[in-house]
Amino acid sequence: MGHLKALPIQPLVLGLATFILSCCAPVTSYSQPASYPSRPIRVVVPYPPAGTTDIVARLLAAKLTIALKQTVQVENKAGAGGAIGSDFVAKAAPDGYTLLLGATGPITVSQSLSPKPNYDSIRDFAPISIVATVPTMLVVNPKLAATSVAELIALAKANPGKLNFASTGSGATPHLSGELFKLMAGVDIKHVPYKGSAPAVTDLIGGQVDLMFEQIPGAMPFVQSGQLRALAMGSAKRVGAYPNIPTVAESGLTGFDMVAWFGLLAPANTPSEVIKRLNAEVTQIMSTQEVKDKLVSIGAEPQASTTAEFSNTIATEIPKWRSLIEKLGPL
């Protein structure tokens, strides 16, 4: 204790006083809603611009910017079927300033496509809220001699291995939609993966590929302009905004049902108060009529969830997709 006696008394007293005052002062940190956010937030989209994930993310970011009174910007990090951007967020600082607009493919399907995925969707993310669900839609190049699902199947059977279908990336919902279609229809159609929706749709319009399953927001503008032809919806029921387009299931492949979800996630260990704040804001945004109308108009179904519900969706869908992938065989 001799070294303590050598210290001046005044600094010790001041230090003790400072400690006592700090204990009595109100506790503040970036994790509390009152101080979060204090700087811009980025929402990573793991696909190129103009696809469905990007469209949903930019709508949400614009509304969060207003609600949080802080800039929320979208950053596209495409590649590997959404895995590159998702992995980036999984390894980001858990402070609430780097978020992910995740989707079915990179969050749940990806866990079964690689023996050692770069990230664990349950361990490495803190789910905030589901934002929307969107069916896939079967579209073809207008020059293809098929105006219905039945005609497409007949054409594929007459030309085994000659038709090809695009996807937004291996393991994404459009890819699995195409693979399930092949399995159920008993046809041989080659898969051509792209790094997102926009390049895939561009080549489909240009005739480099024949068909694809794409989420409605990414394909419908080109259907309406006549650049693509819609054959069927991938959902179990017809989409309210487009009641004249039949489903794949009612077109002969009973049981076909491919619907993707999109949701906001943060890196694991992000403070719970930040997650609660973001969940509350997203829930409020998704309840507004303006946002509902916008999403419905592009073929999406607005949907908010609790963090627990979102976590449960991820946990239950991973084995569901694993089962389907095992049935499909090597992809």
d(CA 100, CA 57) in angstroms, rounded, equals 9
pLDDT band at 25 (very low <50, low <70, confident <90, very high): very low
Provide the pLDDT for residue 34. 57
Mean pLDDT of 237-263: 94
Provide the pLDDT for residue 195. 87
Q: Which residues, including other chains, have CB under 8 Å from residue 220's CB and lie 6 or more apart?
A: 137, 230, 242, 298, 299
Express each pLDDT in 99-143 by its tens digit: 999 999 999 999 998 878 899 999 999 999 999 999 999 999 999
Pairing of strands 125-140, 229-233: antiparallel
Express each pLDDT in 185-223 by its tens digit: 999 999 999 988 999 999 999 999 999 999 998 899 999
CA geometry: angle 319, 321, 325, nearest 5 deg: 115
3 state SS for the chain:
CHHHHCCCHHHHHHHHHHHHHHHHCCCCCCCCCCCCCCCCEEEEECCCCCCHHHHHHHHHHHHHHHHHCCCEEEEECCCHHHHHHHHHHHCCCCCCCEEEEEEHHHHHHHHHHCCCCCCCCCCCEEEEEEEEEEEEEEEECCCCCCCCHHHHHHHHHHCCCCCEEEECCCCCHHHHHHHHHHHHHCCCCEEEECCCHHHHHHHHHHCCCCEEEEEHHHHHHHHHCCCCEEEEECCCCCCCCCCCCCECCCCCCCCCCCEEEEEEEEECCCCHHHHHHHHHHHHHHHHCHHHHHHHHHCCCEECCCCHHHHHHHHHHHHHHHHHHHHHHCCC
Extract the tokens encoding 76. 């596209």
Express each pLDDT in 32-89 by its tens digit: 445 999 999 999 999 999 888 999 999 999 999 999 999 999 999 998 889 999 999 9
Provide the pLDDT for residue 51. 86
Say if residue 277 is exposed, middle or buried (CB neighbours under 10 Å; 0-12, 13-18, 19+). buried
**Cβ-based neighbour number of residue 190 at 10 Å:** 13
pLDDT band at 298 (very low <50, low <70, confident <90, very high): confident
Alpha-carbon torsion angle 165, 170, 172, 176, nearest 10? 60
Q: Could you give the residue range(s) of every CATH 3.40.190.150 domain in the chain?
A: 41-133+259-328
Mean pLDDT of 228-251: 95
Domain 41-133+259-328: give its CATH code.
3.40.190.150
Tell me if the domain spanning 135-233 has CATH number 3.40.190.10: yes
The pTM of the full predicted model, rounded to 2 decimals, is 0.80
Mean pLDDT of 296-302: 89
Whether 240 has a pLDDT exceeding 90, the answer reads no
Please, what is the average pLDDT of the chain? 89
Provide the pLDDT for residue 115. 78
Provide the pLDDT for residue 12. 34
Q: Could you give the residue range(s) of every CATH 3.40.190.10 domain in the chain?
A: 135-233
pLDDT band at 288 (very low <50, low <70, confident <90, very high): very high
Provide the pLDDT for residue 15. 41
d(CA 138, CA 132) in angstroms, rounded, equals 20
